[in-house]
């Protein structure tokens, strides 16, 4: 039975098992330029503060890995982000004994949105990340290939849903926007001069699934309405699904609720009271808040830092429970 959480309470995070090692890698991507990914993993080496984009994380860069048969969680950021978009969740996973690997989705990053609506590229890139981690990463022998999970937010939520077996129908976007022209997605398409009738442009066999992914955490999945019951019928992995109760970017009930209702097995479902879409991103410091207030500003009374302590603990506990 789905678990609906309308309020969150602070609880103690899991005991930290280790320090965190970190490295950035380049992953061959066929005829295209290499993909860039960040990898967080347990280590016993001392960790110190280091800059990562607009944030500072306490890690041991390039340190030796600690542990054997470690579970892996691959991560997919939202539209216009990059691999550090959920660095705090990655740190929490690594402290708890997981390896977390996040890819920057070429064509849908903060500095390159040239292929943002070629959504089929994202699951293929995530699949390539799993390939790399299991077969090529320098510490791949320390991973347990039978324990792989995936985490995704917004466009990343769409991505991991496809990876878990979902098949969207992008021809649903045009009628959705005809019915809801004021919604953010539709207004953005119109502003960009993009014709939403692009479903027929999807290449045959474009939606890449990855049966190695055994559990999925999804926050505010984009294009949730495009799947339907038939499109989600092959999704069998356990799912933890999160919705921001005041998500004005992806209005209820067309995104998260559409996914929840159409999954063949009920997810563990959390609705976060007073939260907005971007509250699933880590808390911003003062400088980033001035630079990007649209993704940093929460509703009055919402404590994003406190929420992320709970959110990260719940994500870790879910993966610990299902990736045994």
Q: What percent of the chain has pLDDT over 70?
A: 94
How much is the average pLDDT of 164-192?
Answer: 91
Q: pLDDT at position 7, please?
A: 37
pLDDT tens-digit map of 260-305: 999 999 999 999 999 999 999 999 988 889 999 999 999 999 999 9
* Residue 198 binned pLDDT confidence (cut-offs 50, 70, 90): low
Q: pLDDT at position 18, please?
A: 79
pLDDT tens-digit map of 171-181: 999 999 999 99
- The Cα–Cα gap between 77 and 174 comes to 25
Range of lowest pLDDT (9-23, 91-105, 139-153): 9-23
Q: pLDDT at position 10, please?
A: 34
- The Cα–Cα gap between 232 and 241 comes to 14
Token code pair at residue 234: 């092959």
Cross-strand pairs, 50 = 57
* Residue 202 binned pLDDT confidence (cut-offs 50, 70, 90): confident
Q: Are 171 and 199 in contact (CB under 8 A)?
A: yes
Token code pair at residue 178: 């005809």
Q: Where along the chain do its domains lie?
A: 19-168+207-322
pLDDT tens-digit map of 5-34: 433 333 333 344 579 999 999 999 999 999
How much is the average pLDDT of 85-113?
Answer: 95
How much is the average pLDDT of 314-321?
Answer: 98
- The Cα–Cα gap between 137 and 131 comes to 9
CATH fold group of domain 19-168+207-322: Rossmann fold (3.40.50)
Q: In what order do the strands lie in the sheet with 143-153?
A: 48-52, 55-61, 19-29, 32-43, 99-103, 70-76, 143-153, 213-219, 239-244, 268-272
* Residue 183 binned pLDDT confidence (cut-offs 50, 70, 90): very high
Token code pair at residue 8: 């969150």
Q: pLDDT at position 12, please?
A: 34
Q: pLDDT at position 200, please?
A: 57
- The Cα–Cα gap between 185 and 86 comes to 22
Token code pair at residue 298: 């929460």
Range of lowest pLDDT (38-42, 147-151, 178-182, 203-207): 203-207
Q: pLDDT at position 231, please?
A: 97
């Amino acid at each position: 039975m789905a678990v609906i959480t309308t309020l969150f309470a602070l609880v103690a995070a899991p005991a930290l098992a280790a320090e965190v090692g970190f490295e950035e890698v380049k992953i061959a991507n066929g005829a295209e330029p290499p993909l860039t990914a960040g990898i967080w993993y347990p280590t016993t080496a001392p960790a110190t503060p280091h800059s990562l984009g607009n944030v500072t994380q306490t890690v041991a860069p390039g340190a030796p890995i600690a542990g054997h048969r470690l579970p892996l969680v691959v991560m997919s950021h939202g539209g216009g982000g990059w691999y550090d978009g959920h660095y705090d969740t990655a740190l929490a996973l690594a402290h708890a004994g997981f390896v977390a690997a996040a890819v920057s989705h070429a064509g849908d990053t903060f500095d390159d949105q040239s292929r943002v609506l070629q959504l089929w590229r994202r699951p293929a890139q995530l699949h390539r990340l799993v390939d790399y981690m299991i077969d090529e990463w320098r510490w791949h022998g320390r991973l347990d290939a039978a324990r792989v999970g995936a985490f995704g937010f917004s466009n990343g939520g769409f991505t991991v849903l496809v990876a878990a077996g979902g098949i969207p129908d992008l021809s649903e976007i045009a009628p959705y926007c005809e019915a809801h022209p004021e919604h953010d997605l539709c207004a953005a398409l119109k502003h960009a001069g993009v014709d939403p009738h692009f479903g027929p442009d999807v290449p045959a066999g474009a939606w890449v699934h990855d049966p190695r992914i055994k559990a999925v955490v999804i926050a505010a999945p984009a294009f949730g309405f495009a799947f339907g019951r038939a499109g989600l019928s092959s999704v069998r992995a356990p799912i933890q699904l999160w919705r921001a109760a005041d998500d004005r970017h992806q209005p209820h009930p067309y995104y998260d609720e559409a996914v929840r209702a159409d999954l063949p097995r009920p997810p563990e479902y959390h609705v976060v009271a007073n939260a907005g879409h971007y509250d699933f991103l880590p808390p911003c410091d003062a400088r980033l808040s001035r630079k990007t207030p649209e993704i940093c500003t929460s509703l009055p009374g919402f404590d994003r830092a406190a929420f992320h302590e709970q959110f990260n603990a719940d994500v870790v506990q879910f993966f610990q429970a299902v990736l045994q």
